[in-house]
Each structure stands twice: as structure tokens, then as C-alpha cells.
Structure 1
């Protein structure tokens, strides 16, 4: 029997960019809109609390305050929470503006 210590190669996990905790009211959909809350956000995606279940792999329109609608793919969904990846990353100034709305 032997023991070894190791250091993980990636200290940031699967994240491509830093996420910021926020509490932003948003909408899902283009025509009939469903309310949701963005609870954290990065330039590449967001975690949502929803009032209706989303399906993993589906594409949604996510309307962010002051930004407008962006297309996002639901990467995971669990009851009324979901993580999505934006089809096009947010510009850094747009991301920073959303974080500032929360302060």
C-alpha cells in the first residue's frame, strides 16, 4: 500500500471565465415571456432560477436587463434551476454593466 499527494492540473474547474454572483430579473422567450432570475453570470453563461422547468440541450432566448435578448443553450437543468451557455460571449463592458446593476 502507498500514498501520494497530487495537485490538480486545473484549479478553476470547468469554468472558462469567472462568475459573478448577481440577482437580476430576466425573461426567457421572445413572444410569451417567462420570468426568471439570474443568480450568477460570466461572459460565457449564467445560472438561472426559473418558475418553469427547462430541458437540457434546449436553446432559449434570455432577455437580460439593459442588454436585450441573447441566445443560450441549457447545459444542465435541475427542477427550477438551470445553467446556460451563451451562443456568443458577452462583451466585457456588458458583463461589467450587469454586475454593477446588482450593486
Structure 2
């Protein structure tokens, strides 16, 4: 996995709080009033991630992201580019939990 040095997408002029780890994985995503569905996640940090949506999300929409082995994380849509969106977790993931998550995702990607 590589750590990109960019500060956000073209539609997100606010610098990121921490570097995101580039990856390709699946998460369970749920929008308010809808069922869960599988979605691709492209990068992740302790504060958020970039996810592909089936339907274009709204800015400031609340969603729940579930990584395998973790409880669902409540997040807010902070930028949208087509059907991809940047999500900011309502509570950052604890550093030790984040390290375990990265190890699991890396192991799953090697299978």
C-alpha cells in the first residue's frame, strides 16, 4: 500500500488531517432509510475514506461504513465527484484499531 501526499480532490479544497493509505477493498455502506450494499473503498485514514456510491450522494449526508471486523462507522459526505465521495468519520478510528484494520485489508488483498 502506498500513502499518497495529496490534500484532497478537486472539489475538496480543505487539506486532509492525515495521509490516506491507498487501497482497493470492499466495505458495507448504508445510507439513511436504505439497505446495506457493498461498495468499493479507494483509500482510508483514521479520519475518513473515499468510497464509490451506486447513487450520487448529497453533501453533508450521513452514511455508515462497515469494514470487516469493525463496528459500523458513522460518517458525513464532505465532497462528491461523480459517484465517488469523500467521507469524514464522526469519530476518528483509534490508531491501534486503524493499524489492525490496515493489516486485515492488506491480508485480504493478497488472497
Q: Would the TM-score normalized by the shorter structure come out above 0.5? A: yes
DSSP 3-state at the match of 1:36 = strand
Normalised to the residue count of structure 1, the TM-score between the two structures is 0.79
Deviation at 1:52, TM superposition (A): 2.2
DSSP 3-state at the match of 2:72 = strand
- Segments ≥4 residues shifted beyond 4 Å: none
DSSP 3-state at the match of 1:97 = helix
Mark the runs of 5 or more structure 1 residues left unpaired by the alignment: 1-10
**Could you say which residue in structure 2 is the equivalent of 1:86?**
89
Is residue 75–residue 83 contact of structure 1 (8 Å, CA) maintained in 2? Answer: yes
Aligned residues: 93
**Could you say which residue in structure 2 is the equivalent of 1:71?**
74
Normalised to the residue count of structure 2, the TM-score between the two structures is 0.74
Mark the runs of 5 or more structure 2 residues left unpaired by the alignment: 8-14, 107-111
Higher strand share: 1
Aligned-pair RMSD on alpha carbons? 2.0
- Which has the greater radius of gyration? 1
